């Protein structure tokens, strides 16, 4: 099987070819079609098997095909990816940038331990995809910089580590603010 056989749009296929990605990994071959169909997904695969691409690629395709911002309006966050560490958040954001390089989809990453100002500015300019660690996400939500009202895709990445690291209360607070109608994707290494 190749990525072309997954019925991906040309802009994403071109970005994948730039990265020399031809055949999806097992998790990608199983998850991408399910995400494209709009199903909720709970997936487990070992680290290094391409879980990020398994959710980023179909989300980018959905967002490209169904743009939900009007031409005059600011972009609204329609995708939220929550992950436990800043390193992973940066890596996921970089993946969205790489796979979406030929689309018009914008993403940003927010995490604690750094100055909030650049993150607030990126949010003010508007983004489609927000990758965040729980603490900074809740902090900026509390300050009124982030609304989850327009979320259509919610990804909890490294769900197992989130639980191990004591993020259950934060994740519950985040989920409580999400719209009932959304696609939920949980990815785990165990």
Identify the pLDDT of residue 69: 45
List the beta bridge partners of residue 42.
Answer: 186
DSSP string, 136-150: HHHHHHHTTS---TT
For the stretch 84-109, pLDDT in tens is 999 999 999 999 999 999 999 999 99
With the CA atoms of 116, 157, 148 and 67 taken in that order, what torsion angle do they form, in degrees rounded to the nearest 10? 100
Report CA-CA distances (Å) from 89 to 9, 25, 113, 158: 25, 21, 13, 11
Query: What is the distance between the alpha carbons of residues 73 and 69, in angstroms, rounded to a whole number?
Result: 6
Identify the pLDDT of residue 70: 44
Report CA-CA distances (Å) from 157 to 21, 77, 89: 22, 17, 9
Spell 43-57 as b/e; 16+ CB within 10 A means b: bebeeebbbbbbbbb
Q: Where does residue 50 fall: left (phi above 0), alpha (psi -120 to 50 degrees), or beta otherwise?
A: left
| Residue 52's pLDDT band (cuts 50, 70, 90) | very high
């Amino acid at each position: 099987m190749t990525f072309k056989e997954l019925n991906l749009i040309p802009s994403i296929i071109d970005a994948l070819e730039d990265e020399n990605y031809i055949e999806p990994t097992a998790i990608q071959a199983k998850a991408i079609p399910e995400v494209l169909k709009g199903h909720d997904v709970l997936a487990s695969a070992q680290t290094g098997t391409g879980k990020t691409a398994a959710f980023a690629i179909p989300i980018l395709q959905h967002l490209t095909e169904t743009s939900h911002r009007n031409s005059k309006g600011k972009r609204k966050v329609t995708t939220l990816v929550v992950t436990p560490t800043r390193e992973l958040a940066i890596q996921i954001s970089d993946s969205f940038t790489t796979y979406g390089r030929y689309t018009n989809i914008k993403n940003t990453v927010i995490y604690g331990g750094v100055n909030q100002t650049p993150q607030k500015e990126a949010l003010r300019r508007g983004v489609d995809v927000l990758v965040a660690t729980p603490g900074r996400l809740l902090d900026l939500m509390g300050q009124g910089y982030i609304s989850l009202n327009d979320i259509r895709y919610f990804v909890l990445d490294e769900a197992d580590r989130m639980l191990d690291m004591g993020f259950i209360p934060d994740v519950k607070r985040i989920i409580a603010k999400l719209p009932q109608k959304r696609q939920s994707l949980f990815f785990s290494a165990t």
